[in-house]
Structure 1
Amino acid sequence: MDYYGFWQMLLEEISAAPKNGERRIVTFNDARQYAGALSQWKTLKAKRPGLRKVQISPLIRAFFVPAAGIGRLMNRFADVLYIEEDIRIQIHAAPGEKSGTAMMPWGVKAIHAPQAWSRSTGVHVKIGVIDTGADYRHPDLRHSLASGVNLLHRGMLPLDDNGHGTHIAGTLAAAGGTRGMMGVAPRALLYPVKAFDHSGSAYVSDIVLGIDWCVQNRIDIINMSFGMKTRSKALHDVVIKAYRAGIAIVASSGNDGKRGGDYPARYPETIAVGAVDKRHRVASFSNRGPYIDVYGPGESIPSCWLREGYKEMSGTSMATSHVTGAAALLLGLRPGLTPRELKLLLRRSSSPVLLRKGQRRASLGGGAADALRLLRAGARAKRGSSANV
């Protein structure tokens, strides 16, 4: 393959492309050809500033490039490349009401997290939160946040300019004590991965880079409270890589109130989450179906917000953070669990959800998350595996 010609052609098109134009994900089918293109890129980018706009994911052998020039690339290198659109993804939450305090939110109590804290608080568990960032000044999150990464502005802290990521972080691991809010796993350590902008929007390539970062930094579990309607080969590839690296991904199913749901939750390598309301029924807005692994509290959830505040929000985003938190409690006790084992334990330990009129249990998928039952199931499974040795 002519690697110099590949980058020269792309550089010509990048120079003529609009500043904020569309992007594409270029994946090499052969690892050796990717290595050759990567080596040439590293050599050229020092002399050709335009090539610095290109980002890479070694995990899936991909380059993220402006859409301009892709037609010419395909004509010349169609036999060695796979090219897909870099699609926009949205967070899974609806705007809520400002609230004065959160204290012990109903969802944290509903999954029996406080009763589980005598066994595990999630200590030493590293949670990657791919979202809008986090409010590092919030008193309830001060001891829960690690540095993370800002994919939109490299070198800067992943500060939240939307609020969604801070809300997720609060449910996961707030540790405000008696004066503030308590999350599901208050001793877990959160690594915010800022991939979403102030409007709650990101590209697939940002998510790929976020998962890539989590794998490189040996994160234990990833919370992904967002989704899109269409499949992405690049996103699925990187999810598979994380799964094989032993990192569980917990993903929200979406808020369309339909059977079916969004990606990446529909990929079999993720733990797909739906939402229940305060009456322990599947929330009216939640997607549902046999592919749902577990449901979590998602209606009117109070949690941390920007400027040291609190806010109620609804969505499968909120449900996902409850499930990730419960999983972190289990990983605190059993750090060697594989993503598959974690998913099976979440499903087996869930409690039945109440049916709405006309619903059939088989059409809903899994049951509702219960942190205490999960820890007990994990302990039983450990004893069983020890007995078999």
Structure 2
Amino acid sequence: MGGSNLDKSAILRLLYSALTHTASAAKRRIVRFRQKSDYERFLHEWSMIDKSLTEASDAIRHLPFIQGFSLRVPGELLRTHAHDGIWIENDPLISVHHSTSTYKPVTREKGIPWGVQEIKAPIAWSMTTGHRIKIGVIDTGVDFSHPDLKQSLGRGINLLNRGTLPHDDNGHGTHIAGTIAAANQVHGMIGVAPRSTVYPVKAFDHNGSAFVSDIVLGIDWCVRNHMDIVNMSFGMKTRSKSLLTAVTNAYNAGVIIVASSGNDGKRKSIDYPARYPQTIAVGATNRLRRIAPFSNRGMYIDVYAPGDKIISAWLRGKYNEMSGTSMATSHVSGAIALLLAMRPGLSPSDIKAVVKRSMLPLRGTKAPRTTGELDVMRMLQAGER
């Protein structure tokens, strides 16, 4: 390709508009450069400004993983300087996946929750407990003081407040972490892979909302810190080139991404990023081994797992019952950790093939062969082949 498409003044206009526009005046967008030279030039100009203005780093988020930036771009700039040299797309809000209808606190959860039992994880524990497998949970953080999680957590990162621990101010992330890796045999609950390690990546605020750019930063952190698995219990309806690029980069780096399909009860579509082929898309089942009414379903789903009335860890050392494809996703992440601890060489495509080969046909489905429910013992056997 020839020389740079963007002159310096265009780059500076973008930068200064991001710094001068308040939240109300302009939408947050992700800007990516078609040419590396333009990206590097923007990076250079930004670093010069960043040194002189402390608020610059708040206004402009650098997304090196996808060679881009998230910043506020006003509509008039979009119209007047629509350059060939850049891709601009919205940086929308994305939310965690849970159906709040069955949100109810539980006093105590002892032993093995029904979902962990259902997928036959306890039978596998004599062979594998997920030891040394690292799972990045991009979510609302985690309750670091929860007695059932203390042994199971790495430090992780707080993308919303750098330098502080990714403490959970919502509950969703703690619930996910509990299903994956809780380990308190005497007094508390046990998760699917009790000796795996969860690294909480706090990208979501107390409302369970995050920008796509936060997710991109979270995926970047997981790849750089050598996570084996990334749990993504969130989704959105619209596609995002930036999110796809980040997911593809992670997949190519050998990271397994498990994503929840969404809770709209739809038959023909599921949320992104679960809909991308580079992820393992999870739907939810209930105790009857049927697809839960809230779960999305259909051809995009790779596997179903328990997601209805799941009890797991909660804030302030408590427990909570929740339903959603989020809850199903954490069972799948834990199961993959059990398999990877036994077969560390398996690639993301190998893992997906094993998961699909080893599913148990569901009850009440017309075409039982196409998709089924997670079964850890069948997975471990299929992984041996």
Q: TM-score range by the shorter chain?
A: over 0.9
Q: C-alpha deviations, 1:19-54, integer Å up to 9, x for none?
A: 796310001112232122112212221013342221
> 2:203 matched to 1:195?
yes
**Contact map agreement 2:21 2:72 (CA 8 A) in 1:** no
Q: C-alpha deviations, 1:33-81, integer Å up to 9, x for none?
A: 212211221222101334222111111111000133x642563351110
Say which SS state the counterpart of residue 69 (structure 2) adopts.
strand
> 2:312 matched to 1:312?
no
**1:56 matched to which residue of 2?**
62
Once the two structures are superposed, the pairs formed by residues 60-71 of structure 1 within 5 Å of their partners are 60-68=66-74, 71=76
**Contact map agreement 2:18 2:71 (CA 8 A) in 1:** no
Which residue of 104, 107, 110 corresponds with 1:100?
A: 107
Cα distance in structure 2, aligned partners of 1:185 and 1:13: 44
**Contact map agreement 2:332 2:374 (CA 8 A) in 1:** yes
Once the two structures are superposed, the pairs formed by residues 127-138 of structure 1 within 5 Å of their partners are 127-138=135-146
Q: CA deviation at 1:9?
A: 4.3
> 2:167 matched to 1:162?
no
Cα distance in structure 2, aligned partners of 1:67 and 1:225: 29
Cα distance in structure 1, aligned partners of 2:120 and 2:239: 35
Change (3 A) 1:20 1:369: farther
Letter in structure 1 aligned against 2:85: V
Q: C-alpha deviations, 1:315-370, integer Å up to 9, x for none?
A: 00000000010001111111121111000100101101111xxx5226x9521001
Letter in structure 1 aligned against 2:109: A
Change (3 A) 1:348 1:306: same
Gap runs ≥5 in structure 1: 382-389
Which residue of 32, 38, 47 corresponds with 2:43?
A: 38
**1:247 matched to which residue of 2?**
255
TM-score (norm 2): 0.94
Q: C-alpha deviations, 1:55-114, integer Å up to 9, x for none?
A: 11111111000133x642563351110011111111111232111222210000000001
Aligned length: 375
Cα distance in structure 1, aligned partners of 2:14 and 2:283: 46
**Contact map agreement 1:294 1:365 (CA 8 A) in 2:** no
**2:295 matched to which residue of 1?**
286
Cα distance in structure 2, aligned partners of 1:183 and 1:311: 14
**2:228 matched to which residue of 1?**
220
**1:386 matched to which residue of 2?**
none
Identity level (%): 53
Say which SS state the counterpart of residue 331 (structure 1) adopts.
helix
**1:76 matched to which residue of 2?**
81
Cα distance in structure 2, aligned partners of 1:335 and 1:4: 50
Say which SS state the counterpart of residue 272 (structure 1) adopts.
strand
**Contact map agreement 2:10 2:81 (CA 8 A) in 1:** no
Which residue of 359, 366, 371 corresponds with 1:360?
A: 366
Change (3 A) 1:326 1:47: same
Change (3 A) 1:147 1:29: same
Q: CA deviation at 1:14?
A: 2.5
TM-score (norm 1): 0.93
Cα distance in structure 2, aligned partners of 1:365 and 1:248: 22
Cα distance in structure 1, aligned partners of 2:289 and 2:25: 45
Cα distance in structure 1, aligned partners of 2:294 and 2:362: 15
Say which SS state the counterpart of residue 43 (structure 1) adopts.
helix
Which residue of 144, 159, 162 corresponds with 1:151?
A: 159
Runs of at least 4 residues of structure 1 off by over 6 A?
Answer: none
Cα distance in structure 2, aligned partners of 1:20 and 1:309: 42
Cα distance in structure 2, aligned partners of 1:346 and 1:301: 22
Q: C-alpha deviations, 1:192-234, integer Å up to 9, x for none?
A: 0001111111111111110011111111110000111110110
**Contact map agreement 1:6 1:73 (CA 8 A) in 2:** no
Structure 1 range deviating more: 220-229 or 52-61: 52-61
Q: C-alpha deviations, 1:111-159, integer Å up to 9, x for none?
A: 0001011111111100000000000000000011111011111111100
**2:359 matched to which residue of 1?**
350
**Contact map agreement 2:17 2:73 (CA 8 A) in 1:** no
Quote the RMSD (CA, aligned, Å).
Answer: 1.6
Which residue of 243, 246, 259 corresponds with 1:235?
A: 243
